[in-house]
Amino acid sequence: MEPSRNQQGLNRMMTRVSHDSLEQHQVWIYLAGLLLGAGVGMAWPGGSQQLDALVWPALALLLYATFTQMNLADVPRSLRDTRFLLAALVGNFLIIPAAVFGIVSLIPSQDALTLGLLLVLLVPCTDWFITFSALGRGDAVRASGLTPVALFLQLGLLPLYLLLMTDFDLGGVFDIRAVWPALMVLALPLAAAILTEAGASRRRFLAQVRERAGWFPVPLLAVVILFVSASHIGPLQEHLGLLPWVGLAGGLFLIAALLISKVIASALRLPAQQGRTLAFSLGTRNSFIVLPFALSLPEGWEIVPMVIVIQSLVELLGMIFYVWFVPRVWFPDRTIRAPQG
């Protein structure tokens, strides 16, 4: 039996309330997942292989739920706004990589730490960037339109960045026989999300799937963090001295992103709302996009996924500050006072 319009409206409202509540508390949800996973991993050290296997299906579901929230129909409109697009692309793909190289050069030279930081800091975010842009009084429409462009560019440019910024044998690290599952866990959810969006206008079921999928990225990412921390806490315990460096790199990156956003927005004379969107685009990173590649690394690189997860938590804590600071201090609304007399 078809639900009434009132019931449909109530369902949408309840879904929105649940979604907003999850987003407001996501930092603590992820932290709980990290701590619970660490506890499980220490209590069951022999289960790391089984727990590691569970990451892949959880990650595929997370990617599908996230990709369904991207509106490919917004891409043409975002491409027409050449000034904002230029600001976002130059900032994310030219200036930020240079800043990341400088930050990583300040960190102790440890291959796994370096690779983990490069993987996570070089790729702009395509999911919670939109959420934080909206919370920080940015332009969510431009944020939505930018994300597909940023996603495809980062997948093409990341290998080039790594080639230029590392001096170890990437061919030996990213063995194609080990990396292809990571490529599939990225490509298949993306293809499924594109098909879902294409069919949503004709199939009510697909439209409902797309609408309800927006509820799942937060809990699914918490599950992924739980499984990653549970399966990698053992190697991390041997490298606890690296954690402060991850925090330092993440903190320096957040500061650099703010400064870069201000310089670019001033140079291109972006309105305050677009400046805020730019700040959130530069400050947020695409941790779960690179996580499959980190999980496919050979023996000896086990701490890379944990570096990515911990940096993401640092970033989320930074976003709490961004949401307050960016619209009030960094890119405030300009009010024009009427002349006296």
157: in domain: yes
Mean residue pLDDT across the chain? 80
231: in domain: no
CATH number of the domain enclosing 117: 1.20.1530.20
Query: Which of 70-74, 188-192, 245-249 is most confident?
Result: 245-249
Instruction: Please give the DSSP secondary-structure letter assigned to residue 338.
Output: P
User: 3-state class of 175 per DSSP?
Assistant: coil
For residue 296, pLDDT over 60 is answered with yes
Q: What is the pTM of this model?
A: 0.78
208: in domain: yes
For residue 12, pLDDT over 50 is answered with no
pLDDT band at 171 (very low <50, low <70, confident <90, very high): low
Instruction: Please give the DSSP secondary-structure letter assigned to residue 328.
Output: I
Take residue 57 and report the two structure tokens written for it: 């299906």
Q: Which residue has the higher pLDDT, 185 or 75?
A: 185
Range of the domain at 271: 48-214+242-330
In angstroms, the Cα distances linking 49 to 57, 248, 323 are 14, 31, 38
Average pLDDT over residues 247-269: 96
β partners of residue 285: 124
Give me the number of domains the chain comprises. 1
308: in domain: yes
287: in domain: yes
- List all residues 6 or more positions away from 243 whose beta carbon is below 8 Å from its beta carbon: 310
| Per-residue model confidence (pLDDT) at position 251 | 95
Average pLDDT over residues 287-306: 81
237: in domain: no
CA dist., res. 251 & res. 249, Å (int):
5
Take residue 209 and report the two structure tokens written for it: 């799937």
Take residue 119 and report the two structure tokens written for it: 């993987």
- Of the candidates 192, 207, 211, 182, the one whose C-alpha atom is nearest the C-alpha of residue 294 is 182
Take residue 318 and report the two structure tokens written for it: 């930074």
| Per-residue model confidence (pLDDT) at position 11 | 45
140: in domain: yes
Q: What share of the chain is helix, strand, coil (3-state, %, to 5)?
A: 80, 0, 20
| Per-residue model confidence (pLDDT) at position 170 | 66
Over residues 36-50, the pLDDT tens digits come to 888 888 888 777 677
CA dist., res. 341 & res. 213, Å (int):
57
Over residues 39-96, the pLDDT tens digits come to 888 888 777 677 777 877 887 888 788 778 766 666 666 667 789 999 999 999 999 9
pLDDT band at 338 (very low <50, low <70, confident <90, very high): very low
- 165: burial class by Cβ within 10 Å (0-12, 13-18, 19+)? middle
